[in-house]
Amino acid sequence: MATQSELTGALREAGFRLTPQRTAICAALAAREDHPTAQSIHEELKQEYESLSLTTVYQTLDSLVRIGAIRNLGTAGDDSVHYEPNIEPHINLACLTCHRIRDLESTAVRELEREVAQATGSNVLSGRVVYYSDCLVESDPGKCPYSQARTGVTE
């Protein structure tokens, strides 16, 4: 939902230097429709940009979260943190089976953020609204590669 230039612009405005690595990471974030982890971004970019280190991906994502350009959703039943490039208030539905996250539009979330802003006396800089749902492969849950291993709501 955020464009590459919005992300890089936010970094620049916050005083960060614009390196090719950061530009590539912002581009990847803007292009992806899912909720990537540091590892998945690294894997994607390593193909065309083989020197890119995982460390840099972690650091850049961290910087973007700090300035409020993206959000950190926590894990989705796996062990890795998922990031959210879409900072429009919405609900995230996580599948604990295949570890994917789907966005759900919500009018109530906006009210929620107002409540938080009022209670804390400042604007909401970051947060996570995540619920767990069944597999996102709606048409055929059997297609979820992890369905067999399913044990329940662990997280």
**Residues lying near DNA in the complex (CB under 7 A):** 12, 16-22, 37-39, 51-56, 58-60, 62, 75, 79-81, 154
Q: Are 27 and 4 in contact (CB under 8 A)?
A: yes
Residue 111: what residue type?
A: E
Distance of alpha carbon 52 from alpha carbon 46, whole angstroms: 6
Residue 121: what residue type?
A: G
Residue 111: other Cβ atoms inside 10 A: 11
Residue 72 or residue 86: which is nearer to a second copy going by CB? 72
Q: Could you tell which of DNA, a second copy, none binds residue 60, using a CB distance below 5 to 8 A set by kind? A: DNA
* 72 forms part of the interface with a second copy (CB under 8 A): yes
Distance of alpha carbon 6 from alpha carbon 9, whole angstroms: 5
Residue 127: what residue type?
A: G
Residue 23 or residue 112: which is nearer to DNA going by CB? 23
Contacting residues toward a second copy, per CB under 8 A: 62, 65-66, 68, 72, 74-75, 81, 91, 93, 104, 106-109, 111-113, 115-116, 119-120, 122, 124-134, 151-155
